[in-house]
Amino acid sequence: MILIDGKKYRDELLEEYKKKVEDLSISLAIIQVGNNEASNLYITNKIKYSSQVGINVEYFNLDTEDEKEVEELINQLNENDNITGIILQSPTPNMNYDRLAEMIDSKKDVDGFTKENIYKLYMKEEAIIPCTVKGIIKLLDHYNIPISGSNICIIGRGNIVGKPLALALTNRDATVTLCHSKTKKLKDITKKADIIISAVGKPNMITEDMVKKDFVGIDVGINKVNGKTVGDFDFENIKDKASYITPVPGGVGPMTIAMIIDNLIEMAEKN
């Protein structure tokens, strides 16, 4: 079994990014509404790693329930040529997140959530790919795990991970089965999968009897159990059946942050 080390690969990528950022002038705007505890942590990390590679970060924390204020800020940032990319941190309490996120100029849409970017992904055109999706594919490529022709079972059809990941892997010629809470006989599907990607958010969702020998396991889930962070896999009991497997923490999570920077560099080079 080979443990997929997302942290190590992230650090290698950050070194590469540092060199690229030197030649580009990149500014990231992060908008947070309110003071959600999980958001604070995500934002701290986004600022930390972006700054580390030389990206300028402008952080706006709005203490408001007035959606208009957020709209105005997004419009200003869209028009500001010094801003390369914009992140609207989810959630935006008492506001329609999807509507606000859609207002971000698709060329500055770091998360790849706007309709234009999703449509481009659907059409297999060049698009800004959602960071977790891009990070998973980068990890598979880095470890030379074949995607084309592989049977890939994705569990979870969320808008941020599962659904766009199914599109992106289909674009890479995988045979994708996208499962969710209404899927019947999930085990019959996972047992046949060369690669299992779980993006559910339930500890011990994937157990030893559900996987075939030498499967590749990518665990996107983040769960807190007795103060410890764990994924969706019953890791200790399935790891020995895996050929490659991600730990939680230290697998997909670090890649998501790195791909924010990857997307920003892509935008700066293009625009």
| Minimum CB–partner distance for residue 171 and ligand NDP (Å) | 19
32, 108, 109, 111: the catalytic one is 111
Point out which residues pair with 29 in neighbouring strands. Answer: 58, 86
Does residue number 193 form part of the binding site for ligand NDP (CB under 6 A)?
A: no
Computed over its alpha carbons, how large is the radius of gyration of the chain? 19
Given the complex with ligand NDP, which of 111 and 266 has the nearer CB atom? 111
Is-catalytic flag, 111? Answer: yes
Which pair of structure tokens corresponds to residue 195? Answer: 């690669």
Helices (H), 157-251: 162-171, 186-190, 235-238
Q: Per rule CB under 6 A, is residue 139 in the interface with ligand NDP?
A: no
Distance between CA atoms of residues 50 and 264, nearest Å? 10
Site string for ligand NDP, 236-255 (x = CB under 6 A): ----------------xx--
Residue 269's CB: how many other CB atoms inside 10 A? 11
Q: Is residue 162 part of the contact set for ligand NDP (CB under 6 A)?
A: yes
199 within 8 A of 157, measured Cβ to Cβ:
no
Min dist CB 251 to ligand NDP, Å, is: 8
The arrangement of strands across the sheet holding 27-33 comes to 56-62, 27-33, 85-88
182 lies in the binding site for ligand NDP (CB under 6 A)? yes
192 is a catalytic site residue: no
Interface with ligand NDP by CB under 6 A: which range of 87-95, 106-114, 141-149, 218-226?
218-226
Both tokens of 86, joined, read: 């914009």
> Would you give the distance in Å from CA 64 to the centre of its chain?
27
- Least distance to ligand NDP, CB of residue 209, Å: 15
Query: How far apart are alpha carbons 97 and 99 in whole angstroms?
Result: 6
Query: Token pair for residue 162?
Result: 């599962």
For residue 88, the minimal CB distance to ligand NDP (Å) is: 15
- The verdict on 224 binding ligand NDP (CB under 6 A) reads no
Per CB under 6 A, 222 contacts ligand NDP: yes
Q: Least distance from C-beta 155 to ligand NDP, angstroms?
A: 5
- Region binding ligand NDP by CB under 6 A among candidate stretches 68-76, 84-92, 105-113, 180-188: 180-188
Contact 242, 269 (CB under 8 A): no
Whether 241 is catalytic: no
DSSP letter (8 states) at residue 89: P
- 153 makes contact with ligand NDP (CB under 6 A): no
Q: Given the rule CB under 6 A, which of 74-82, 90-98, 149-157, 263-271 is the region that contacts ligand NDP?
A: 149-157
144 within 8 A of 4, measured Cβ to Cβ: no
Binding interface with ligand NDP (CB under 6 A): 132, 155-158, 160-162, 179-183, 199-202, 220-222, 252-253, 256
